[in-house]
Amino acid sequence: MDRLYGTHKPTNLVQKSILAVGSGVMSILDPSRDDMISIFGETTGVLALKSMQEKMIVDPEGDEILKKRPVINTKTVDLNFLKSLPAGTLGKEYSNFLAKYNLTPDARRPVSFIDDAELAYVMRRYREIHDLTHVTLGMPINMLGEVTVKWFEGIQYGLPMCALGGFFGSVRLGPRHTAKYLNLTLPWIVRTARQSRLFINVYFEKHWHKPLVEFRRELNIVEPPPKL
Amino acid sequence: MFLRSLLSINRCSLLSLVRTHSTTSNTTHFGYDEVPEHEKQARVNQVFTNVADKYDLMNDIMSFGVHRVWKNYFIQVVRPNPEWNYIDVAGGTGDIAFRYLKELNRFHPSSSSSVSPPEPSPQTTSAESSEKALVYPTSKCVVADINANMLAVGKQRSLENNLHDRIQWVETNAEKLPFHDSQFDVYTIAFGIRNCTHIDRVVSEAYRVLKKGGRFLCLEFSQVNNTLLQYFYDQYSKTFIPPMGQIIANDWKSYQYLIESIRVFPKQTEFADLIRSCNFRYVNYENLSFGIAAIHSGYKL
């Protein structure tokens, strides 16, 4: 098999199986190995990516994303411009989010083990909008916030890594968070994931100036539950 | 049949190219890639910096522990002697050197006290440039490696094994050792020579630092002598080793390099010819595991 895109590492079925099982085990044994989590997602996610691709094609904005293939990194997104936007807009909140948690959009691992260039792009897009998903849903980076976002992504996209992450991640919540999770967050996020627009179809880069409240209404997202 | 002779002709011509032109040719092999010579060293350095921490674990997993058997047997062939000056080149994490010293402990227990002179010399000497003066070894067991990370792992392991004060660690290029001529009785290099840019220079340098009557021993991956086994070995290597490298060491590329570098290394007879061409006598080789690895030996007489 030839390399179909820059970071592609062609693999056969046996190699993918080894990677899938090995990365699954390593993700649990050593959760700090984020590369294992990425690889697990890539090796198990092809069916889900295909279904995501089909849903993108039928949506006008999603189709535009597939054609233009925008990427989100410090070269393509002007962070200073985002910082200058009024408070409460998507761009400003995103900029605040990155600054608060000391993140950069460059930190996403490249896709290597998906043997189709377009599906590899869909995977990449999914990774790059993860932080924006956090901002749009109003979820922080703590364990509860991550589990919530994983549930959301798992329901919307069907990626096994997200579903498993959401399900098993919740086991590790502390008692205070577990109570909140079961009573408030989980019902809210499941309802939101099912009724809101598919985030992979959202061309976030066109909506920086939009106030978050309006943006959420457009996507059919109910306001998130109050912080603890 | 024709194809195999054609391939062997290619390898022979490659080897003669290495032999006659290695000091002037511009490119060399980095696995299957053709790279400028000065780049190979940097790339190999990068490989070993990346894999140093998980090097021993990966060896165990890839070879199912068989590398230990090979190395134990290698030391049997060496037959350590407490009076010898011993150097292990590309010996990074210390596998061979530790086995050497433990074998000495077992059969010559009285020699296990430290024999290094009480100079406050730094434990790791770095002698890169040729302008620096050549030195004498300060220990009867020297471990040399070009990569500082590998040496660091080795030093840590030597502390755990209580062999720390019997080893002199040297960071150096095998093609240009910082020692005077005729210092060592035995020179070993295990699974290191295929990573060197100029194999012939490494062997010549070995010749230089060995005393008269000294022995050169090389344990290295080689070519399998059985076609059926070759097929399974290739399949195993390509299918298992890079993914295991990704999972355990987070490094696909380095292990891809590993399996490629094994395949481009000259076969047993050609490597033996190369050693002979560096003036070693009584050169022969012994296959291990059907040629997956081989021990080459030669004497300076």
pLDDT tens per residue, range B243-294: 999 998 888 988 898 899 898 999 999 999 999 999 999 999 999 999 999 9
**pLDDT band (50, 70, 90) for residue B122:** very low
Indicate the SS3 state at residue B124: strand
Q: What is the ipTM of this complex?
A: 0.80
List the CATH number of the domain containing B196: 3.40.50.150
Query: In terms of Cα–Cα distance, which of A194, A197, A216 is closest to A62?
Result: A197
Supply the pTM of this predicted model.
Answer: 0.77
Size of interface A-B (CB pairs under 8 A): 29
Alpha carbons B186 and B214: distance in angstroms, whole number: 6
Neighbours of A90 (CB within 10 A): 24
In whole numbers, what is the pLDDT of chain B averaged over residues?
A: 84
At A34 the pLDDT is: 83
Q: pLDDT band for position B128 (50/70/90)?
A: very low
Token pair for A149? 């976002």
Q: What are phi and psi of B61, to 5 degrees?
A: -70, -45
Q: What is the pLDDT of residue B283?
A: 96
Would you state the pLDDT for residue B111? 58
Long-range CB contacts (within 8 A, 24+) of A163-166: A165/A37
Tokens 């062939």 identify what position?
A: B77
Percentage of residues in chain A having pLDDT higher than 90: 58
Kindly determine whether residue B240 and residue A12, on different chains, have CB atoms separated by under 8 Å.
Answer: no
B11 pLDDT more than 70: no
Would you list the domain boundaries of chain A? 13-219
User: Could you tell me where the beta strands, DSSP code E, fall in chain B?
Assistant: 27-30, 33-36, 86-89, 124-126, 141-145, 168-171, 184-190, 210-221, 281-288, 293-299
pLDDT at B112: 52
Q: What is the DSSP string of B4-69?
A: HHHHHHHHHHHHHHHHHHTTT-SEEEETTEEEEHHHHHHHHHHHHHHHGGGHHHHHHHHHTTHHHH
Minimal CA separation from B264 to chain A, in Å: 21
pLDDT of residue A174: 78
Strand partners of residue B87? B142, B187
Percent of chain B at pLDDT above 90? Answer: 54
* Nearest chain B residue to A13, by CA: B239
Residues of chain A in contact with residue B246, where contact means CB-CB under 8 angstroms, are: 19, 22, 39
Closest C-alpha among B185, B176, B100 to residue B144: B176
Q: What is the pLDDT of residues A118-171, one digit of tens each?
A: 999 999 999 999 999 999 998 888 888 888 899 999 999 999 999 988 888 888
Q: Look at B33 and A60; give whichever has higher pLDDT.
A: A60
For B194-232, how does the pLDDT look when each residue is reduced to its tens digit (9 = 90+)?
889 899 999 999 999 999 999 999 999 999 989 999 999
Which of A7, A9, A109 to mutate to test binding with chain B, by most B CBs within 10 Å of its CB? A9
What local confidence, expressed as pLDDT, does residue A112 receive? 92
- Split at pLDDT 50, 70, 90, the class of A178 is confident
Residue B8's CB is within 10 A of a number of other CB atoms, namely: 13
Angle at A4 between CA A121 and CA A52, to 5 degrees: 30
Count CB neighbours of B176 within 10 A.
14
Domain count, chain B: 1
Which band of pLDDT confidence, cut at 50, 70 and 90, is reported for residue B143? Answer: very high
| Residue range of the domain that includes B178 | 2-299
Task: Tell if the CB–CB gap between B247 and A12 is shorter than 8 Å.
Answer: no
Tell me which chain A residues have a C-beta less than 8 angstroms from the C-beta of B243: 11, 15, 18-19, 22
Residue of B nearest to A18 (CA): B243
Mean pLDDT calculated for residue range A66-83: 90
